[in-house]
Amino acid sequence: TQEFLDALRDAGDRLVIVEFYGTWCGSCRALFPRLCRTAVENPDILFLKVNFDENKPMFKRLNVKVLPYFHFYRGADGQLEAFSCSLAKFQKLKDAIAVHNTARCSIGPPVGVGDVLDSPEEKPAEASPR
């Protein structure tokens, strides 16, 4: 669990895709080669795998009840999406990558209306006395 939390923390603002799997799961084994190719095609995404047999309490806390199961995370946004996906429905995973692996703006927080009105160059002109 601590390794999982450390990996999420260290990923910063990168997209993180976590596959929850079991070594005995046929769908997980069938999906693995396709998932590896996807990881190679998307080097900016951090892919993690969490083994069911070694992490049963984590699976219970995260409400993972079917395998393979995926969580998408990104920095301060936290968990973006969670779903089950088999090889037959792999397009679902690719669609989620397309949605969540977009560039993020790094110019800082948006300026609010109050911020604009408080800045000297943006103050409304005062009426001049007659």
Task: Write out the catalytic residue numbers.
Answer: 25, 28
Amino acid at 130: R
Asked whether 74 and 67 are in contact (CB, 8 A), the reply is: no
Q: How far does the chain reach from its first CA to its final CA, in angstroms? A: 72
Asked whether 68 and 27 are in contact (CB, 8 A), the reply is: yes
- For residue 69, what are its two tokens? 């199961």
